[in-house]
Amino acid sequence: MNKTLVAAGALLAGLSLPAVAQQRSIKIGFVSTFSGPPAVIGADMRNSFELALDHLGRTMGGLPIEVIYEDDQQKPEVGKQKTEKLILSDHVDFIVGYIWSNVLLASLKPAIDSKTILISANAGPSQIAGELCSPYFFSTSWQNDQTPAAVGLFMNQKGVKNTYLIGPNYAAGKDMMVGVKATFKGKIVGEEYTRWPDQLDFSAELSKVRAAKPDAAFAFYPGAAGVQFLNQYVQAGLKGQVPLYTAFTIDETTLPRQGENAIGIPGAQQWVNDLPNDANRKFVADYKAKYKASPSFYGAQTYDAALLVNSAVVAVKGDVARKADMIKTMEKADFASVRGSYRYGNNHFPIQNFYLQDVVKGPDGTVVLKTVATVVKDDQDVFHDKCAMK
Amino acid sequence: MRDEVILLIEQCLNGLQFGLLLFLLAAGLTLVFGIMDLVNLAHGSFYMLGAYFAATFAALTGSFVLGGVLALAATLVVGMAAELIAIRKLYGRDHLDHVLGTFGLILFFNELVRLVWGPAGMNLPLPPYLGGAIEILPGVYYPAYRIAVIAAALMIALLLYLVVMRTRVGMLIRAGASNREMVGALGINVQLLYTFVFGAGAALAGLAGLIQAPILTAHIGMGENILIVALVVIIIGGVGSIRGAFMAAIFVGIVDTVGRAFLPDLFRLVMTPAAASTLAPALSSMLIYVVMAIVLVVRPQGLFPVDGK
């Protein structure tokens, strides 16, 4: 009997031991889409994040790193629930990720309310750049409107007089159209919003594009939808008739399946795989060596997010309770970004260059993305005036 | 020809093509439900498998048509195997068990596809003769592949009609849909009939999937959204009725496509563009459900119910 009691006591003591003896670690929650077709994007983000941790020696400020990956299933309600779980039960120090604007908008409040620093590695809804801005939010990507606005500028340069806009009916889709309209000087002859994310057949909309006979069309279809849209654009015989301009429709996650269909279709991006800086060369080469695939802009932004977190942790020497000091450090964007250096605006969105990217046949016959020109330098989003932070 | 007329013709073709595709899916679903009294949510999984098989076999053989034929055969085999191994255990249990069991199959097939083909999905490139657009009427250009889909699906529909109405197997199928117990009582091997019907239904779904693969790419979970629309079709058409499925599928296809195409413009006439662009997509995606609700109120048995039910 006594033996059992002693054993039980030892067992109980054992239970409380790890909590005392455990070494402190930096806990990072990572919310992205790891199921369904967008899992390809989620995987690229996770791979890039893991690569960044490798490059950091898997420590930040001398402390080990623990990453908890959560799948938002591309659903706002699931994203919010996973974010709350990371904050309330895992007590993470940072949250990184978010592909989709609608998912990020739903997940923002729990992070801000708990003063957990959240870094969006992709989504950049206009609301968060403006009235919903917060000291605890940072973006390592862009505000949604910026990329299409750069495309609009390029369309002006090409002498496009009128255009037809088409994109999905959700937060980012609307931001994209506003973005093009902000800079494009010609006429908008038509505007279509398709059901998202389940509508994948665009026959009705493409027929309308053809009937409108525009100089050019602009499309925003992120992820797998970009493959389907481009397939159907080519099948409808529109590629030869109506030149297509895109934002977030052609990238390294979709290109293997878009192939020749994508050749010659321009887009804008703040990062392209061939940007000539050392950090980028190392990132792209090591990614290819480790994963036997090419990183996309989603991955590049996520890689930067890891380095941004690291800069904050190093500045406070691992004392992650000093949030104000960490935010102050992060505002300097003092790390070697793979897109080249950039600054933060008052709303914690990057002020950065946007490049024109084109799709060409590489030397080995595969289809690759290539930087052609700089469309706009040091671009800041238009919503920062609405942000109360100074 | 005037632009508006051209656009209307194009949109009707788009609707027809979508409708015929829905018919291929709904035909199998309605047969299985009508004859075997089985609610088969995994029907969409065969649609997905058809697309993956076609992409794989076309890449292996280098031929689009041969890939399609092999994919059809493969889905038939998988369908019959699923009936023998899993579905058979569900007969005679209530509909909730069917829903649970076949929902489990959806998860199983999705995970299976992820293991075999990976999460990225697959593209099925079209042969050059189907890849572009052709002029079907003066000034009316239409994707060659979609024309081929319309022609092929109409042929399949005709074939299905002949099999169901003119052959002995078809007679058994119709008899099964009208009165299942009586067919068994008359000494027909019901088990064999069920395996055949389920396999044929799966093959039809696989056919729909392989037809869609060049347009939508093969991807995991592609069957789930379209299955909902196929369920709407069989409710409108009347459960168990092939003719009802055909009529309702064409109707739903055209209502959905034409609604999507013209509602936004219609709304812009009476409200601001911003309000119209918010409201119109929402309403047009609801349109077919509104139609279904009206049918359920006016004719709960569907527009073309099977006699004797």
Best interface-test mutation with A: which of B141, B147, B283 has the largest number of A CBs within 10 A? B141
Q: pLDDT in tens for each of the 309 residues of chain B?
A: 678 888 999 999 999 999 999 999 999 999 898 888 899 999 999 999 999 999 999 999 999 999 999 999 999 999 999 999 999 999 889 999 999 999 999 999 999 999 999 888 899 999 999 988 999 888 788 999 999 999 999 999 999 999 988 999 888 888 887 787 888 888 888 889 899 999 999 999 999 999 999 999 999 989 998 999 999 999 999 988 889 999 999 999 999 999 988 888 888 888 887 778 778 878 888 899 999 999 999 999 999 887 655
Residue A360 included in any domain: no
Are residues A318 and A224 located together in one domain of the fold? no
Are residues A244 and A286 located together in one domain of the fold? no
Contact assessment for residue A164 and residue A136, using Cβ atoms and an 8 Å cutoff: no
Give residue limits of the domains in chain B: 19-126+169-298
Q: Is A138 helix (H, G, I), strand (E, B) or coil?
A: strand
B52 and A CB contact within 8 Å: no
Q: What is the pTM of this model?
A: 0.90
Interface confidence (ipTM) of the complex: 0.90
pLDDT value at position A18? 42
Per-residue tokens: A96: 């990184």
Contact assessment for residue A42 and residue A72, using Cβ atoms and an 8 Å cutoff: no
The number of folded domains in chain A is: 2
pLDDT value at position A318? 94
pLDDT value at position A6? 53
Are residues A85 and A73 located together in one domain of the fold? yes
Contact assessment for residue A155 and residue A216, using Cβ atoms and an 8 Å cutoff: yes
Contact assessment for residue A166 and residue A197, using Cβ atoms and an 8 Å cutoff: no
Distance (Å, rounded) from C-alpha B257 to C-alpha B212?
16
Best interface-test mutation with A: which of B10, B13, B122, B268 has the largest number of A CBs within 10 A? B10
Torsion of CA B47, B50, B55, B57, to 10 degrees: 180
pLDDT value at position B269? 86
B227 CB neighbours in chain A (<8 A) are none
Domain range for A63 is: 22-142+276-351
Are residues A284 and A253 located together in one domain of the fold? no
Are residues A194 and A280 located together in one domain of the fold? no
Are residues A336 and A224 located together in one domain of the fold? no
Q: What are phi and psi of B130, to 5 degrees?
A: -110, -5
| Residue B164 C-alpha from the chain's centroid | 18
Q: What are phi and psi of B297, to 5 degrees?
A: -75, -45
Are residues A263 and A175 located together in one domain of the fold? yes
Q: Which of residues 140-169 of B touch A (CB under 8 A)?
A: 141, 143-146
Are residues A174 and A123 located together in one domain of the fold? no
pLDDT value at position A23? 60
The CA distance from A387 to the nearest CA of chain B, in Å, is 24
pLDDT value at position A359? 97
B215 and A CB contact within 8 Å: yes
A203 and B217 within 8 Å at the Cβ level: the answer is no
User: Mutual orientation of helices B43-61 and B64-85 as an angle, nearest 10°?
Assistant: 140
Contact assessment for residue A355 and residue A372, using Cβ atoms and an 8 Å cutoff: yes
Q: Is A15 helix (H, G, I), strand (E, B) or coil?
A: helix
The CA distance from A19 to the nearest CA of chain B, in Å, is 37
Q: Give me the residues of chain A with pLDDT under 50, please.
A: 1, 11, 14-22
Residue A358 included in any domain: no
DSSP state of A145: T
Residues of A near B (CB-CB distance < 8 A)? 35-37, 39-40, 43, 169, 191-195, 198-201, 203-205, 207-208, 210-211, 224, 227-228, 231-232, 234-238, 253, 256-257, 259
Are residues A186 and A254 located together in one domain of the fold? yes
Distance (Å, rounded) from C-alpha B23 to C-alpha B47?
13
Give the CATH number, domain containing residue A210.
3.40.50.2300
Q: How many CB pairs under 8 A join A and B?
A: 106
Are residues A264 and A282 located together in one domain of the fold? no
